[in-house]
């Protein structure tokens, strides 16, 4: 069975929510923490609600609506989200008040909006969608599990159109705490220089990206979601390489069939070594594009990566800002998106062009 990407929507540190060609106006930064460019949320949410909603809910609702609009759909049959950290802002607000006020005089709003399924629930509420609704919260596999769930549901035929998305937000608390783990650059770096940085550490990012998936091809569809696979804690790079070969085989292709490799390089010299190894072993002459210098590193960044890969196939070209190695291919039929999150969560997403 074919699974078609009939629509997409994305809110990110790039100008992805306003339409136009991919990276038509590139946003460049020189900082270790990227924030999304907020679209005008009034398009989808009334003012009273906007004030009450945290950023992750707003960006999720916006990306979901953009995805449905581009698919020409008002309501999906199912909504599935992936978020590693969930609603950090409201969690932080409630936790801080609870500690500072010694568990007294607390109000419910932040608690209500702190649960990980808030975004999927709010989308359902705004769309009045009573269909299947699920939220995966598994670190670097959150978005991937959401995709797998959608593929399985479309496969069994119990839904025709599924809205699938991945999202995470940065808050002051989360950035402060994650910084203490030493995962970010010590000094600001220009985003367009990030991927060639000789130092460990990356930059923090955030965003929300949604796909509208269907087993029927929509009018504007250019891309099929051919396969998704995950690999947890590989023992060594050979296991990753073997996994990719098997994954491609199970989707009836080989590395030669891949026109463009899209990787999750994040500018951390230690973590990027795995991409070097894999490219050298399987894709030595393949052009490679990257996305985390555009959106920053976060556990559901593959949602942005998939959104971008879909746009690359739709436009049949790779903007210079996204190219990492080689020249843009003349024809983009198949893209393999390979990402790993902190070396433990490896994921593989295969996209194919459809006429």
The angle that helices 172-180 and 88-100 make with each other, rounded to 10 degrees, is 90
H or E element that contains 117: none
98 binds another protein per the rule CB under 8 A: yes
Q: Closest distance between another protein and the C-beta of residue 113, in Å? A: 7
Q: Closest distance between another protein and the C-beta of residue 82, in Å? A: 10
14 or 171: CB nearest another protein: 171
Q: Round to whole Å and give the CA distance between 146 and 180.
A: 30
342: left (phi over 0), alpha (psi -120 to 50) or beta: left
Q: For another protein, what does the binding mask look like between residues 309 and 328, x meaning CB under 8 A? A: --------------------
User: 86-124 burial string, b = 16+ CB within 10 Å, else e?
Assistant: bbbbbbbbbeebeeeeeeeeeeeebbebbebbbbbbbbb
Q: Round to whole Å and give the CA distance between 104 and 112.
A: 17
Q: Closest distance between another protein and the C-beta of residue 14, in Å? A: 26
For residue 175 the two structure tokens come to 């950035």
236 binds another protein per the rule CB under 8 A: no
147 or 311: CB nearest another protein: 147
Q: For another protein, what does the binding mask look like between residues 51 and 90, x meaning CB under 8 A? A: ----------------------------x----xxx----
Map residue 133 onto helix, strand or coil: strand
Q: Closest distance between another protein and the C-beta of residue 33, in Å? A: 15
347 binds another protein per the rule CB under 8 A: no
User: Of 59-67, 144-152, 261-269, 324-332, which part binds another protein (CB under 8 A)?
Assistant: 144-152
Within residues 102-141, the interface with another protein by CB under 8 A covers 102-104, 106-108, 111-118, 120-122, 124-125, 127-139, 141
161 binds another protein per the rule CB under 8 A: no
Q: Closest distance between another protein and the C-beta of residue 263, in Å? A: 22
Q: Contact, 22 vs 319, CB < 8 A?
A: yes
Helix, strand, coil shares, percent, the chain, to 5: 40, 20, 40
181 binds another protein per the rule CB under 8 A: yes
Closest CA to 347 of 211, 244, 226, 225: 244
Q: Round to whole Å and give the CA distance between 73 and 232.
A: 35
114 or 306: CB nearest another protein: 114
Q: Round to whole Å and give the CA distance between 7 and 220.
A: 8
Residues engaged in binding another protein (CB under 8 A): 79, 84-86, 94-96, 98-100, 102-104, 106-108, 111-118, 120-122, 124-125, 127-139, 141-142, 145, 148-149, 152-153, 155-156, 176-177, 180-181, 230, 232-233
């Amino acid at each position: 069975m074919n699974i078609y990407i009939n629509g997409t929507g994305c809110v990110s540190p790039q100008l992805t929510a306003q339409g136009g060609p991919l990276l038509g106006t590139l946003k460049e930064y020189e900082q270790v923490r990227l924030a999304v460019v907020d679209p005008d949320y009034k398009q989808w949410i009334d003012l009273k609600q906007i004030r009450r909603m945290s950023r992750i809910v707003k960006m999720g609702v916006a990306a979901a609506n953009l995805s449905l609009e581009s698919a020409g759909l008002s309501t999906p049959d199912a909504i599935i989200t992936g978020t590693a950290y969930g609603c950090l802002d409201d969690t932080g607000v409630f936790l801080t008040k609870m500690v500072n006020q010694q568990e007294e005089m607390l109000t419910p709003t932040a608690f209500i909006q702190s649960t990980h399924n808030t975004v999927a629930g709010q989308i359902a509420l705004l769309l009045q969608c009573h269909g299947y609704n699920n939220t995966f919260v598994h670190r670097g596999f959150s978005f991937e599990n959401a995709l797998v769930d959608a593929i399985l549901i479309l496969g069994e035929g119990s839904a025709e159109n599924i809205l699938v998305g991945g999202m995470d937000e940065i808050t002051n608390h989360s950035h402060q705490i994650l910084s203490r783990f030493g995962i970010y650059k010590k000094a600001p770096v220009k985003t367009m220089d990030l991927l060639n940085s000789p130092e460990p550490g990356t930059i923090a990012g955030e965003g929300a990206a949604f796909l509208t998936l269907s087993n029927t091809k929509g009018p504007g569809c250019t891309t099929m979601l051919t396969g998704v696979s995950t690999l947890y804690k590989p023992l060594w790079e050979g296991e990753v390489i073997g996994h990719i070969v098997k994954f491609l085989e199970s989707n009836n292709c080989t590395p030669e069939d891949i026109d463009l490799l899209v990787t999750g390089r994040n500018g951390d010299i230690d973590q990027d070594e795995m991409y070097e190894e894999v490219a050298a072993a399987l894709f030595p002459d393949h052009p490679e594009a990257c996305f985390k210098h555009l959106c920053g590193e976060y556990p559901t960044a593959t949602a942005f990566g998939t959104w971008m890969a879909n746009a690359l196939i739709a436009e049949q070209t790779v903007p210079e800002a996204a190219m990492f190695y080689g020249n843009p291919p003349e024809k983009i039929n198949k893209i393999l998106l390979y990402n790993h999150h902190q070396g433990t969560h490896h994921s593989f997403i295969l996209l194919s062009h459809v006429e």
